[in-house]
Amino acid sequence: MTDTPTLDQNLSAAARHVLRDHGTERPGTSPLNYEKRTGTYSCAGCGNAVYSSDTKYDSGSGWPSFYTAIPGATATTVDRSLGMTRTEVHCAQCNGHLGHVFPDGPAPTGLRHCINGVALDFAAE
């Protein structure tokens, strides 16, 4: 696991709220919703590469969405908050909360990784 206290000093309050307190950003607020360039999305908490632009699509949900993560880069847990059961996706390296996975995505996986943009950094190729 990464030394997150040191890294967290560089996080915005919004990113810290999402990554460490399992918060959610408001839909439609992330500039990453409109990012179309080829590149890699990394965890803002530790820099771990978690998603490729090749798997990003416009789900219309208001959050950056991907149909799969980079193999081994994320992990999931059961989230029973808000009176429902969901699948939480988090960074496999620092355990930062990224968002949730839903079974309503496109082929080939049928999954929608609905990710908080504030939890990601983007690097264009």
pLDDT of 2 higher than 50: no
Q: Can you give the residue ranges of every domain in the chain?
A: 4-24+39-124
Report, at the CATH architecture level, how domain 4-24+39-124 is classified. Answer: Beta Complex (2.170)
Q: Catalytic amino acids?
A: 114
Residue 8's pLDDT band, with cuts at 50, 70 and 90, is confident
DSSP 46-99: T--EEEEGGGEE--SSSS-EES-PPTTSEEEEEE-GGGS-EEEEEETTT--EEE
3-state secondary structure of 39: strand
Residue 31's pLDDT band, with cuts at 50, 70 and 90, is very high
